[in-house]
Amino acid sequence: MTVAAPVPAPDHTADTPPVISMRDVSKYFDDFQALKSVSFDVQKGERVVVCGPSGSGKSTLIRCINRLEAHEAGEIMVEGTTLDDTRASLDQIRGAVGMVFQQFNLFPHLTVLQNLTLGPRRVLGLSEEEARKRAMTYLERVQIPDQAEKFPRQLSGGQQQRVAIARSLCMEPRIMLFDEPTSALDPEMIAEVLEVMTELADSGMTMIVVTHEMGFARRVADRMVFMDKGEIVETGTPEAFFTAPKSQRCATFLQQILNH
């Protein structure tokens, strides 16, 4: 695996406030504690890859950031706005944060174009023409402008996931969350999705990616986060993380995932 030319990493020591800041966040599903007092900051333009065994809380972590899950304790701030149940806070934060799901979650009854224009038209108030133009721009960016009039189920998994990325980008978010975006894909389709994500990372988008694609992580991540049992066990640069993991749990996990 060749390591791509490193994109200059954002300066973590700068005293600009982080765009995402989680302080002692806890989340319970009934009696099960999915997040145990997690604290976590992300700087503007930073690319963070989160990994860990299943059930470690990594999906829950990013789903709390745009409130698909509500946290029970602690504080989450996105671009200085505290996340709570008020409409204003939700609109502010969901407007800034886009999300891509493992199962794509495209709207199956709408064409690709309609999937992309729904948000811009209903939420941002764009005209049909403006929304269409914007949608086509992003479809070109994910390299499937010729599929605009098709329905999702007529596309391959890789194409569907790229449509989902484009749908999210149409809202022009400043932060993108990826929840295992390639886990539901056939192996031959993973590359095309990772390519789009790499391109997005190169454009300077702030990204948090939950994934097991360690090649992608090495190439793109500024920082690795390893989670286990609802806690952040270890964080570090990809070099340090992959060559010399500090904790035994992380070392074991990496061994399993890299040698499978």
Partner 1 sequence: MKRFLLLLPVLFLLSGCSGNWGWYVVDPSTSNGAANLRFLISGAYNTVLMSVTAILISITLGLLIALPGLSDKRGWRALNRTYVEIVRAVPILVLILWVYYGLPQLSGITLNVFWAGVLALALSDSAFQAEIFRAGIQSIHKGQYEAAQSISLSYRDTMRYVILPQAIRRILPALGNQLVYMLKMSSLVSVIGMQELTRKANELVVSEYRPLEIYTVLVLEYLALILIVSAGVRWLERRMNAAES
Q: Where along the sequence are the contacts to partner 1 (CB under 8 A)?
A: 66-68, 91, 94-95, 97-99, 101, 103, 105-110, 118-119, 122-123, 151, 153-154, 164, 167-168, 170-171
Q: Among residues 56 and 66, whose Cβ is nearest to partner 1?
A: 66
- Report d(CA 65, CA 50) in Å as an integer: 14
Question: H/E element holding 163?
Answer: helix 157-169
If we measure between CA atoms, which residue out of 41, 25, 54 comes closest to residue 229? 54
- Report d(CA 100, CA 249) in Å as an integer: 28
Alpha carbon distances (Å) from 226 to 58, 113, 240, 252: 9, 37, 13, 12
Q: Among residues 60 and 168, whose Cβ is nearest to partner 1?
A: 168
- Report d(CA 95, CA 175) in Å as an integer: 9
Q: Are 257 and 214 in contact (CB under 8 A)?
A: yes
What single DSSP character describes residue 88?
Answer: H
Q: Among residues 12 and 122, whose Cβ is nearest to partner 1?
A: 122
Phi–psi pair at 253, nearest 5 degrees: -60, -45
Q: Among residues 170 and 214, whose Cβ is nearest to partner 1?
A: 170
Please state the closest distance from residue 185 (CB atom) to partner 1, in A: 16
Please state the closest distance from residue 171 (CB atom) to partner 1, in A: 5
Please state the closest distance from residue 255 (CB atom) to partner 1, in A: 33
Q: Among residues 110 and 251, whose Cβ is nearest to partner 1?
A: 110
